[in-house]
Amino acid sequence: MTIRALIFDLDGVIVDTARYHYIAWREIARELGFRFTEKENERLKGVSRMQSLDILLQVGGLQLTQHEKEQLAEKKNAHYLTYIERMTAGEVLPGVLPFLAEAKEMKLRVALGSASKNAPLILEKTMLSPFFDCIVDGNDVNAAKPDPEVFLKAAQLLEVKPEECLVFEDAEAGVEAARRAGMWCVGIGSPQVLSAANLVIPGFSGFSVRDILEKFNSK
Ligand code: B16
Ligand code: MG
């Protein structure tokens, strides 16, 4: 078995947009009249925009109509975009740039598999778009992670088999999606939380693509 493609999640793996999501959701909660804490925000990581809103409303004990929910999600996104528009290459997480450059040099296929509908804009602002052969994001899928759809679509576009793909994920639901897709998975974060991953590293700093692939190739 040989890994031919790398698929990266975005938020929490390549950049840390969670704090911008948090500021924007907290503002919506404030307008609705309740507090939304950073700890509660952890539940939104890797989850789609509408599912995030459902969790927020659950925290506030509120029930709204579909129309009201759509308006709130739009409002949150407009607020979130004011932060995203100002993002720069300096916000790419440590070690990511050399890792992507090495993958390119090794002629591996590289895809993004993210729940975010803003993924292309974030890659553009952080100057990472040229590293990706394809982007599969929240605009392209019907089922959110832990459903494997996002990663299976990426493999299809890259014309590789699932077992030739290595996924990098920071969220439990994302690790599950990768494993359900029949792919290998490196968790970025804590081994306790991401125990379903084949390997867990704290971040990309100090890790080369060659080091990581050695652990998977011909397994
Ligand atoms: P948007 P990922 C996810 O990104 C975030 O982790 C999650 O908090 C967010 O709700 C979701 O994207 C949708 O984002 O509102 O921009 O469409 O981790 O899958 O890259
Ligand atoms: Mg993530």
| Distance separating the N- and C-terminal Cα atoms of the chain | 7
Count other Cβ atoms within 10 Å, centred on residue 115. Answer: 25
Cβ–Cβ < 8 Å for 186, 201: yes
Assess if CATH 3.40.50.720 describes domain 18-84. Answer: no
Would you say the CB of residue 87 lies under 6 angstroms from ligand 1? Answer: no
Least confidently predicted of 75-79, 189-193, 201-205: 189-193
What pLDDT band is residue 93 in, cutting at 50, 70 and 90?
very high
Supply the residue whose CA is at minimum distance from atom 3 of ligand 1.
Answer: 46
- Its CATH architecture, for the domain 5-15+91-217, is 3-Layer(aba) Sandwich (3.40)
pLDDT at 58: 98
Number of CB atoms found within 10 A of residue 89's CB? 10
Residue 45: what pLDDT? 87
Share of the chain above pLDDT 90, in %: 96
Condensed to tens digits (0 to 9), the pLDDT of residues 55-71 reads: 999 999 999 999 999 99
pLDDT reported for residue 78:
98
Rg (CA), the chain: 17
Computed over every residue of the chain, the mean pLDDT equals: 96
Instruction: Give dist(CA 11, CA 119) in Å, integer.
Output: 9
User: What pLDDT sits at residue 161?
Assistant: 98
12 lines ligand 1 (CB under 6 A): yes
Global pTM? 0.95
The residues spanned by each domain of the chain are 5-15+91-217, 18-84
Question: Do 5-15+91-217 and 18-84 come out as alike in CATH topology?
Answer: no
Task: Give the closest ligand to the alpha carbon of residue 170.
Answer: 2
Please determine, for residue 28, whether its predicted confidence score (pLDDT) is greater than 90. Answer: yes
> 25: burial class by Cβ within 10 Å (0-12, 13-18, 19+)?
buried
Ligand 1 site, residue 21, Cβ cutoff 6 A: yes
State pLDDT tens for residues 119-160: 999 999 999 999 999 999 999 999 999 999 999 999 999 999
- Quick check: 219 pLDDT over 70? no
Report the distance separating Cα 36 and Cα 31, nearest Å: 11
Q: Quick one: which ligand is closest to 13's CA?
A: 2
